[in-house]
Amino acid sequence: MSALQVRWCWRKDLSEFRGLSERERDGFLLVLEWFENFRLRNELDAGRDAAKAFWRTEVLREGRPREQWQLEQWESALHWYLKWLAACEEANADHRSLAERVRAAVRSAGARRGLALTTKRCYGAWAARYARFAGDEREVLQVATASRFLASVVDDEDCAYSTQKQALNAIAFFFKHVCGVENPIFAVKLRKSGTRVPVVLSKRETHRVFEQLEAPWKSDGRYGLPARLQYGAGLRRSELVRLRIKDVDLERGTLTVRQGKGDKDRCTILPKSLLKAVAAQIEAAREIWRRDREAGLAGVHIPGALGRKFRRAAESFEWFWLFPAKQTSMDPNAGVRRRHHLLAKVYGDAVRRAAVDAGIEKRVTSHALRHSFATHLLEGGADLRTIQELLGHEDITTTEIYLHVAAGSNGFGVTSPLDESGELGAGSEESGANQGCALI
């Protein structure tokens, strides 16, 4: 965030550009704001590639017919923007907005300190929001401004305590590791929110979801095994998709989760009922790996110093993904084409659709399978400490949230007094119907 480099703003230059009428300028502003929001949302660098991606996914979106004059005007606006970028480069000017520069600085600081990718993205997004709130470079460096921003998050957004704490940690990281403020003190008090009960599926509901994912009329049923494995081993979604061949031990019936939440490794169970299916999946992955090697593709991504220390490991089968992606893609960090693992969002969307198709009237996400794993273990008599180890919870109080379904047919370990009452004739339907008539 050096103040020495010249800053250019396309909005300011567009407002002063004399080659457009007022109506054309308004049209350019509309589409370029649209483009900038798309680019920042998808974390794309400004340039021709981002413009092509915007045109392909937003402008030419299926089901959204466009008038010819719109396409011509929007194309002219993007051409103007690309010429403006070229002028920035020639003048050695920084075209990025304050929010974009703050986010880049936070992510760079996070990389130096070894933060996980999801943490860097999270902190960067909060820092960018704060920069937009502050408005200019002087204000963004003021602790008082940060206090007002955090107060607005707490008071105006009605978000969970964990979200408030996340925002506080992100802004504190920005001041400590980007601005160099050793101990920033923010005048804000976080608001505690009530405990939320997780969404839990019954065993019958989980199998209905699996049946929908594996139904023959679905595309290829490729999400059925991942869903069964996530439920059967209690995995987080990110842990599931990042499983590698070497992490699966068919002989011992275990899975090893590498670099889970908190950068911790742990072991969990591999369900016996899935051993044959997982073995078949390993062979299917082996065939994809063999084709990639014959095509001369770069090996899979290996994080951190391991990738530098074991340079050939990326091309070995044991480091290959258990659930590889169907298509190869460009690695934005390394600049090479390689095969990624199954995309977490794609898998999560498939689980949500399957729950809807199964007629389950709950807010089901892929994480509900992990909640259901823990709850069903408790109902089966497993002790809380074992479940904590399998889930990878640092604090057992996190695991205790599942105690609301510790035992009993209805999950609470108690029987309703209505079911125990002998006065209603064991709760017969006829008796209930007669009682209803009498009341009427």
Residue 18 binned pLDDT confidence (cut-offs 50, 70, 90): confident
Instruction: Tell me the residue length of the chain.
Output: 440
**Residue 199 one-letter amino acid:** V
Of 219, 248, 223, nearest to 233 by C-alpha is 248
User: Cα 25 vs. chain centroid, distance in angstroms?
Assistant: 37
161 catalytic per annotation: no
Residue 440 has pLDDT above 70, yes or no: no
Q: Token digits for 54?
A: 């915007």
Active site residue 326: no
Strands (E), 252-406: 254-257, 266-269, 324-331, 336-341
Q: Active-site residue 261, yes or no?
A: yes
What digits encode the pLDDT tens for the residues 144-202?
Answer: 999 999 999 999 888 888 899 999 999 999 999 999 998 899 999 998 877 778 889 99
The pLDDT mean for the chain works out to: 86
| Interval 112-125 mean pLDDT | 86
Identify the CATH assignment for 203-351 out of 3.30.70, 1.10.3120, 2.60.40, 1.10.443.
1.10.443
Mean pLDDT, residues 85-98 taken together: 88
Provide the percentage of residues in the chain whose pLDDT is more than 90: 53
* Higher pLDDT, residue 360 or 433: 360
The angle at the Cα of 378, spanning 372 to 384, to the nearest 5 degrees, equals 115
Of 96, 148, 261, 266, the active-site residue reads 261
The catalytically annotated residue of 236, 242, 371, 376 is 236
Active-site pick, 223, 231, 347, 402: 402
Classify domain 98-177 by CATH number.
1.10.150.130
Q: Quick check: helix, strand or coil at residue 341? A: strand
Which of these, 244, 284, 282, 288, lies nearest to 265 by C-alpha position?
Answer: 244
Chain segment 252-304, per-residue pLDDT in tens = 999 999 988 877 899 999 999 999 999 999 999 999 999 999 999 888 888 76
Cα–Cα distance, 207 to 103 (Å, whole number)? 43
Q: Please give the single-letter amino acid code of residue 407.
A: A
Spell out the domain ranges in the chain.
10-90, 98-177, 203-351, 408-440
Whether 347 sits among the annotated catalytic residues: the reply is: no
Stretch 405-434: mean pLDDT = 52
pLDDT band at 63 (very low <50, low <70, confident <90, very high): confident
Q: In Å, what is the CA distance from 269 to each residue of 84, 243, 250, 288? A: 56, 14, 10, 26
86 and 62 Cβ atoms separated by less than 8 Å: no
Tokens found for residue 240: 């599931």
Do 130 and 150 contact (CB within 8 A), yes or no? no
- Per the annotation, the verdict on 393 as an active-site residue is yes
Residue 418 to residue 392: CA distance in whole angstroms: 40
The pLDDT of residue 405 is: 55
How would you class 197 by CB atoms within 10 Å of its CB: exposed for 0-12, middle for 13-18, buried for 19 or more?
A: exposed
Residue 207 among the catalytic residues:
no
Provide the CA 174 distance to its chain's centre, in angstroms: 22
Q: What per-residue confidence (pLDDT) applies to 336?
A: 81
User: Within 13 Å of residue 402, how many CA atoms lie on the same side as its CB?
Assistant: 27
Question: 241, 286, 272: which is closest to 259 by C-alpha?
Answer: 241
- Is the per-residue pLDDT at 3 higher than 60? no
Of these residues, 367, 376, 385, 404, which one is catalytic? 367
Q: How far out from the chain centre does Cα 32 lie?
A: 27
The three state secondary structure string of 354-379 is: HHHHCCCCCCCCCHHHHHHHHHHHHH
User: Could you report the per-residue pLDDT of 320-356, keeping only the tens digit for each?
Assistant: 999 999 998 877 666 788 999 999 999 999 999 999 9
Which of 95, 370, 371, 376 is flagged as catalytic?
A: 370
N- to C-terminal Cα distance for the chain?
75
Decide if 188 contacts 154 (C-beta within 8 A): yes
The pLDDT value recorded for residue 135 is 87
Q: What is the model's pLDDT at position 288?
A: 96
C-alpha to C-alpha distances, 272 to 32, 283, 392, 437, nearest whole angstrom: 55, 18, 21, 53
